[in-house]
Structure 1
């Protein structure tokens, strides 16, 4: 292939087809909005393509071309030109102005000519630049630009990462670039209302151009066209063919008032770019901007810089002095340097920032055997009192991890107050992560020093252990992070106060930190022998299931290969194709569930996948996660879910199936220590009870007040029979509606779950709403209020912003409606279990019990209690959990105890 990159000996002009890219980006990226509901998908796609072009092509000169009243001149040739095009989509219109602001921030020249298209502007400038000795790279995905390709004028498509020069055009199309206008004239363009010659497609057009060279020659030698139908079609469309060529030909001599010097590359306005990307919530772009390889101008107004020099503590006297300064100030911000899981990690060092802006680094374990730094025991002796003093406010990022690492030094951190990760999360729980570097970049407009891979849990074979780094290498990164956290906290607290979320931070999330830290530190004992027994049992089950799959398939195949599965389902068995993806028929879970109604193979595949996933996720993995103490130490995340639910990783205990036999078997391997039992306290039907309270539905409230079987009561209401006559199938259907209604269950969804006709499902839901009118009102009013305010909230004020409710994409808007309906229910359930953890933990301390809280999974708390405390703990947990909220219905708690988690359920 010919070299298509621009010559480095000549200046390079990059011309970007801005108007074309806006629409291309809009259609390429799914609907996207900021937390305030501003649509941004086209802006993001456009910005990424422009940055990629600038980075990859490294031009000396650059310009963006936009359309401006662009149809006017060509409509003088043909009034119908582009007349059939609709206006831009409604959610694209506000993005045009934002794109102009992006262009301004990137400091890029803009060219446009009234009445003409961006194509003509680029064509004119390309010719001008070529004459002046430039190599030209046109950034576009539009095939029409092929007509201006020459040895020094090439095309670059950043979405496909392809370069196109004359050789590529000839190889792909079989014609010269300049003949592209003749080719387009023959085949026409229905989108732009450019007429075609009937009967002529791409292949015939190419053959005609290869034979005659251009349209004019073709018309002058029409009698040489061999096929009579083609000859007659051209003869009867001479005028429209000539007109079509005028329409598709770029104008290359527009009177552009621009000099090449005006297009010289300028530095990005870093301040404007950061401000705009923060407003648009382009957090990844903010992170990438410094690494884009783009020249950047200094912002006109810079925030006060973070400290550039840190004091390193070298003596015990300095340790004591620093501890006294923190106590006197009443606050200190801390960021620990450690490697590995916090529950087992030792402090390598500690970054500190005081309210007066001074930053420090305390080195503890640098070099072989901690040769560099102060002695860890000296640090503990100096800092234990102040770090355990709740009156001294502690700040940082992920104070739970700090709590765990300090615990390994014999220090029980108290006074956690300014955890900027948690504060940021409460302001925008839908955000993917709340990394300190991102928050500093967005809010302080500064880049934090990079951390070594070991500090981020990414150490490769060639990377040094954290302790092998010198003090000089780590001091700036951790001390400046402590100062960044200190600077961020006041602004975050102010915003939380403004939206009435500060109380949630102070009264729920921050007090939960030490409890979660103790749970992670304690861990839960795993019976590896029991797990091995279960694993062996599942191995046999998997083997048996494989044989079952082969039996129904009629042959053996690689069950894990999607192409082979598709071949068996749709070629061998000729099952109906329900939906298609980019590569062919889909065989995803939804498809398999529907196909299982027609053939046993899809159901067998589902069962095989379920067994295989449980085996790989838990049975094979759990033994590798057992620590030296024989226990599993999961990590809880407070700042991870949009609803406020806790999540866990390494392992994720939230995903162990509750109601399947294998899920119960896996729970059997989680056991109590010798002389102890596990106590389980689980809210019963908490989300339905919350639905009754929030929706104020009298029928649902009455059922719970009288402690009735809610699914039997619902079946009786919906099917019009006495409760004692409700059969198993009716109760099953009512149960599906009860649990699905808070998730915005549709007739289509209910029909799929119950394998019934959609009309029957619609009738069931309608009858449900007749009897439970309060719930229908709740669903309607919740969505309407969310559209007005932009958010939904729990009974405790936790918010989730719902910008997608305003999406013009119906599928996206419907998903947002379901989330809006569910959030007040599921979010309040999350708040309740957190309140329960606080209440029960306090009660355990007050009673002086040795029992410890181990796990929180869904609506359940699990405790490890000495045998002689089990009954007291059961009563205490039931009382504490049932009294955390005063609802219109009682909160019911199921409690149990046993040697294993399964026994306690």
Structure 2
């Protein structure tokens, strides 16, 4: 590199491991569809793009350590053991990061025997000598020693949940640390750095080290004046450990004259947003970054098969050929500005794409609505197609059924549901994810909507067989065919039925809550002796722990913590705290339910919520718009909101609730004789457990003992720890541990079963329910103790909770089917975990109760009875 060859051009040098490490710990864990951890890579790229936008350099190079950092001194061997090993979730992202950077055409550099900071130090010196401006990006402040007038060190840091970057030229280092960049090395050598395994000099901290170097500039000069150094302990320490100080300086000094080949031109920035990079970003599911690409991904060969049809006769011919195919992939083209929540034949459809094979020839056809081909006519033809012998493969069938009728549900394959079963840990599932993961097909996000639909239809067509094979391999084909797919149609019926809400009653309920909130505000202000914003944690903390001097205050960076667990400890002794907790509960009731539910009431006074089967990892159904499953029932005021849910005229609510289903499943799965016998004898299971655990005759068990045993019974299902139980029961951790030990002595089969599930999960990476549902447990391989502990609880609980969800799904399917087969007007309107609510016609109530009891209690064959408790009422509150 000739001197001044690159005069006034700029290069950015990035400390790869350092920035990757910072990104890893700065972002929550992310995984893609393949289960790859991606948070460090995602964070790295965001920091990279931020720096490139700000600096606009001509050149870029990222340096990595080859292995663990190389030791620079033989004496260092005795100190190296203190370095913390890299987290496995981070380690696996290092090669991933390199692959992504290579795909972007970014120059990487690494060399055995040299650390990344040596490479960066040498490059910064070479580039500066060539007349370049140099920007070094690293989270390691050691690199501040490289700062000059032309070399700027940029150090990212997290502040307020956002990434900020500190900038240091030589003058900035002097201003911040009182020493020059070169002297910064000596300061670090004296004070040491445990994170970087630099021992330093005992008894000399940062303040003293800085003072010494400000006065004497170097360790060597300081040693020459060692008798003059103050305080005396620092003088004594330097005298006794001068060799250590010299070694530390050698360790802290970055090599700026390392020997390795590098041509600056190799680092010139070209087009970072290549096709290869686009495919990586797609694979890693970095959707927020895809907008940076302006490339046109070359068309896949299958696009040659795409064609568009607008003629009604030709469209009918296409669908006629599709009807004789083995599998037909369908994707509806929708007008996104006119999406309707309820069944409305065709009003939102602008076309549909179909993919199938006929006479050995693949067809991918987009049929567009227009002219004489109406949306209604097209949808009727699709409904007719579902009557054929062809398997209909779609994505999110339940959503599309708002537009057409499915005549033969048993012939439908929902790719969305299948993808969920195969990986239930993802936060979302999209057709392009399925295309990439199972078909190795990249769908360009910039394609026209018509082409996207063709790709989607093709993915549904090709994906059905591949996904079914994966389901077979994982033992979940029966789960898919017999539970999940029939459930799609049961949930659709429930969503279409909706549930009636008395809007005036809801308004009155909200107003009543408002009155109580105002009353509590007044009482709280009187007890506090001042008015303040109760909803402000900062103001509340100041009132409680500064003005009122309440105990147990925990100071954080933003003020005192007012978390529920802290306030609950204070509530029994301090009325103001008790009233604040009550205020919070009522305020949430008002905002979330009284006010929130009102937004979802339609013109017919009914709420049409959405029930999801592809959200939870355990298989439980979830509810949104609104969330009907979170309506509070623990406090009486919360339960009263159920009074606004009413059946339509001439109907009543019948509520059926499984009794202790998870404990019954635990008894079945663990094969514990004592637990099974207790259920077979229909004993009070909590009183039985209390009798055994507390060595008390059954008839003499106190209410407190029963409550404690109940907490243990349900806690065991969730893998509760002694700490967790001690918090729940307000007892010591030792007492809680004794309760758990006695429980396992009483029910040894349960202990053996739970331990076995954890061992299986550690070996195989997943657990299964009795119906074959898999729940991956990647947390068990984490290097983080808390994550592994969470994984153990997941391994214990998921087979139980998942089986309960499966049983409820089977019951829903069967009840829904019976109601329709017997031509009843009654319909399921709400499902909440272990509970089904049916809007039953007055004349059908007894028949509905019989159906619910028969189908719920026979949904699974367990070693203990399944019991469904039944009640009837004029509103949900009464029925429950």
**Equivalent in the alignment of 2:160:** none
Match of 2:481 among 506, 531, 540: 506
Query: How far apart, CA to CA, are the structure 2 residues paired with 1:770 and 1:228?
Result: 63
Match of 1:165 among 144, 163, 169: 169
Match of 1:646 among 590, 606, 621: 621
**Equivalent in the alignment of 2:373:** 374
**Root-mean-square deviation over aligned CA pairs:** 3.6
Cα distance change, pair 222–644 in 1 and its aligned pair in 2 (3 A): closer
Query: How far apart, CA to CA, are the structure 2 residues paired with 1:210 and 1:477?
Result: 66
* DSSP-derived class of the 2:401 partner: helix
* DSSP-derived class of the 2:403 partner: helix
- Measured after TM superposition, the shift of residue 431 of structure 1 is 1.3
Cα distance change, pair 597–661 in 1 and its aligned pair in 2 (3 A): closer
Tell whether the 8 Å contact from 1:686 to 1:891 is kept in structure 2 after alignment. yes
Q: How does 1:312-331 map to 2 (within 5 A)?
A: 312-330=308-326, 331=328
Q: How does 1:649-668 map to 2 (within 5 A)?
A: 649-668=624-643
Cα distance change, pair 904–354 in 1 and its aligned pair in 2 (3 A): same
* DSSP-derived class of the 2:324 partner: helix
Residue 386 in structure 1 maps to residue 361 in structure 2: no
Please, which moves more after superposition, 819-828 or 576-585?
A: 576-585
Query: How far apart, CA to CA, are the structure 1 residues paired with 2:789 and 2:204?
Result: 44
Match of 2:256 among 245, 252, 265: 252
- Measured after TM superposition, the shift of residue 261 of structure 1 is 3.0
Cα distance change, pair 448–344 in 1 and its aligned pair in 2 (3 A): farther
Query: How far apart, CA to CA, are the structure 2 residues paired with 1:51 and 1:445?
Result: 28
Cα distance change, pair 659–576 in 1 and its aligned pair in 2 (3 A): closer
**Equivalent in the alignment of 1:137:** 135
Cα distance change, pair 136–485 in 1 and its aligned pair in 2 (3 A): farther
Q: How does 1:811-830 map to 2 (within 5 A)?
A: 811-830=786-805
Query: How far apart, CA to CA, are the structure 2 residues paired with 1:835 and 1:36?
Result: 30
Query: How far apart, CA to CA, are the structure 2 residues paired with 1:172 and 1:867?
Result: 80
Query: How far apart, CA to CA, are the structure 2 residues paired with 1:379 and 1:122?
Result: 64
- Which runs of 5 or more residues in structure 2 are unaligned? 158-162
Query: How far apart, CA to CA, are the structure 2 residues paired with 1:416 and 1:540?
Result: 55
* DSSP-derived class of the 1:836 partner: helix
Please, which moves more after superposition, 629-638 or 700-709?
A: 700-709
Q: How does 1:328-343 map to 2 (within 5 A)?
A: 328-330=324-326, 331-338=328-335, 339-343=338-342
Residue 721 in structure 1 maps to residue 721 in structure 2: no
- Measured after TM superposition, the shift of residue 354 of structure 1 is 2.0
Cα distance change, pair 522–10 in 1 and its aligned pair in 2 (3 A): farther
Residue 783 in structure 1 maps to residue 783 in structure 2: no
Q: How does 1:610-759 map to 2 (within 5 A)?
A: 610-759=585-734
Query: How far apart, CA to CA, are the structure 2 residues paired with 1:573 and 1:134?
Result: 61
**Equivalent in the alignment of 2:819:** 844
Give the TM-score normalised by the residue count of structure 1: 0.86
**Equivalent in the alignment of 2:119:** 121
Cα distance change, pair 784–55 in 1 and its aligned pair in 2 (3 A): farther
**Equivalent in the alignment of 2:425:** 430
Residue 586 in structure 1 maps to residue 561 in structure 2: yes
Residue 85 in structure 1 maps to residue 82 in structure 2: yes
**Equivalent in the alignment of 1:565:** 540
Query: How far apart, CA to CA, are the structure 2 residues paired with 1:225 and 1:875?
Result: 92
| 1:84-118, Cα deviation, whole Å (9 max, x unpaired) | 53362473666655555555555544434444432
* DSSP-derived class of the 2:285 partner: helix
- Measured after TM superposition, the shift of residue 212 of structure 1 is 5.9
Please, which moves more after superposition, 516-525 or 761-770?
A: 761-770
Q: How does 1:302-321 map to 2 (within 5 A)?
A: 304-307=300-303, 311-321=307-317
Match of 2:64 among 66, 72, 82: 66
Tell whether the 8 Å contact from 2:782 to 2:788 is kept in structure 1 after alignment. yes
Please, which moves more after superposition, 196-205 or 511-520?
A: 196-205
Cα distance change, pair 624–23 in 1 and its aligned pair in 2 (3 A): closer
Cα distance change, pair 495–275 in 1 and its aligned pair in 2 (3 A): farther
Query: How far apart, CA to CA, are the structure 2 residues paired with 1:131 and 1:893?
Result: 82
Please, which moves more after superposition, 49-58 or 160-169?
A: 49-58
Tell whether the 8 Å contact from 2:502 to 2:645 is kept in structure 1 after alignment. yes
Tell whether the 8 Å contact from 2:41 to 2:93 is kept in structure 1 after alignment. yes
Tell whether the 8 Å contact from 2:70 to 2:115 is kept in structure 1 after alignment. no
Match of 1:399 among 397, 400, 403: 397
| 1:316-366, Cα deviation, whole Å (9 max, x unpaired) | 3234233323323252412341444532563232331221454444444xx
Please, which moves more after superposition, 355-364 or 491-500?
A: 355-364
Residue 543 in structure 1 maps to residue 518 in structure 2: yes
**Equivalent in the alignment of 1:464:** none
Query: How far apart, CA to CA, are the structure 2 residues paired with 1:72 and 1:832?
Result: 57
Query: How far apart, CA to CA, are the structure 2 residues paired with 1:202 and 1:536?
Result: 61
**Equivalent in the alignment of 1:417:** 412
Query: How far apart, CA to CA, are the structure 2 residues paired with 1:303 and 1:579?
Result: 59
- Measured after TM superposition, the shift of residue 139 of structure 1 is 1.6
Match of 1:12 among 10, 13, 16: 10
- Measured after TM superposition, the shift of residue 828 of structure 1 is 0.8
Tell whether the 8 Å contact from 1:343 to 1:404 is kept in structure 2 after alignment. yes
| 1:725-764, Cα deviation, whole Å (9 max, x unpaired) | 2221121112111221101122222221111222222222
- Measured after TM superposition, the shift of residue 518 of structure 1 is 1.8
**Equivalent in the alignment of 2:773:** 798
Query: How far apart, CA to CA, are the structure 2 residues paired with 1:373 and 1:60?
Result: 58
Query: How far apart, CA to CA, are the structure 1 residues paired with 2:862 and 2:237?
Result: 80
* DSSP-derived class of the 1:343 partner: coil
- Which runs of 5 or more residues in structure 1 are unaligned? 1-6, 365-370, 452-471
Cα distance change, pair 437–170 in 1 and its aligned pair in 2 (3 A): farther
Query: How far apart, CA to CA, are the structure 1 residues paired with 2:115 and 2:197?
Result: 16
Tell whether the 8 Å contact from 2:73 to 2:247 is kept in structure 1 after alignment. no
Cα distance change, pair 748–35 in 1 and its aligned pair in 2 (3 A): farther
**Equivalent in the alignment of 1:455:** none
| 1:630-671, Cα deviation, whole Å (9 max, x unpaired) | 210000111000111110101101111234322331111111
Q: How does 1:277-288 map to 2 (within 5 A)?
A: 283-285=284-286, 287-288=287-288
* DSSP-derived class of the 1:856 partner: strand
Cα distance change, pair 547–362 in 1 and its aligned pair in 2 (3 A): farther
Query: How far apart, CA to CA, are the structure 2 residues paired with 1:148 and 1:706?
Result: 78
Query: How far apart, CA to CA, are the structure 2 residues paired with 1:416 and 1:899?
Result: 39
Please, which moves more after superposition, 801-810 or 334-343?
A: 334-343
Alignment size in residue pairs: 860
**Equivalent in the alignment of 1:153:** 151
Please, which moves more after superposition, 877-886 or 194-203?
A: 194-203
* DSSP-derived class of the 2:656 partner: strand
Query: How far apart, CA to CA, are the structure 1 residues paired with 2:863 and 2:492?
Result: 34
Cα distance change, pair 803–873 in 1 and its aligned pair in 2 (3 A): same
**Equivalent in the alignment of 2:500:** 525
Cα distance change, pair 636–30 in 1 and its aligned pair in 2 (3 A): closer
Cα distance change, pair 232–803 in 1 and its aligned pair in 2 (3 A): closer
Query: How far apart, CA to CA, are the structure 2 residues paired with 1:827 and 1:378?
Result: 42
Cα distance change, pair 679–708 in 1 and its aligned pair in 2 (3 A): same
Query: How far apart, CA to CA, are the structure 2 residues paired with 1:812 and 1:774?
Result: 26
- Measured after TM superposition, the shift of residue 46 of structure 1 is 5.3
Cα distance change, pair 87–842 in 1 and its aligned pair in 2 (3 A): closer
Please, which moves more after superposition, 190-199 or 122-131?
A: 190-199
Query: How far apart, CA to CA, are the structure 2 residues paired with 1:446 and 1:200?
Result: 60
Please, which moves more after superposition, 391-400 or 92-101?
A: 92-101
- Measured after TM superposition, the shift of residue 144 of structure 1 is 1.5
- Measured after TM superposition, the shift of residue 886 of structure 1 is 1.4
Tell whether the 8 Å contact from 2:202 to 2:237 is kept in structure 1 after alignment. yes
Tell whether the 8 Å contact from 1:17 to 1:119 is kept in structure 2 after alignment. yes
Cα distance change, pair 757–252 in 1 and its aligned pair in 2 (3 A): closer
* DSSP-derived class of the 1:88 partner: coil
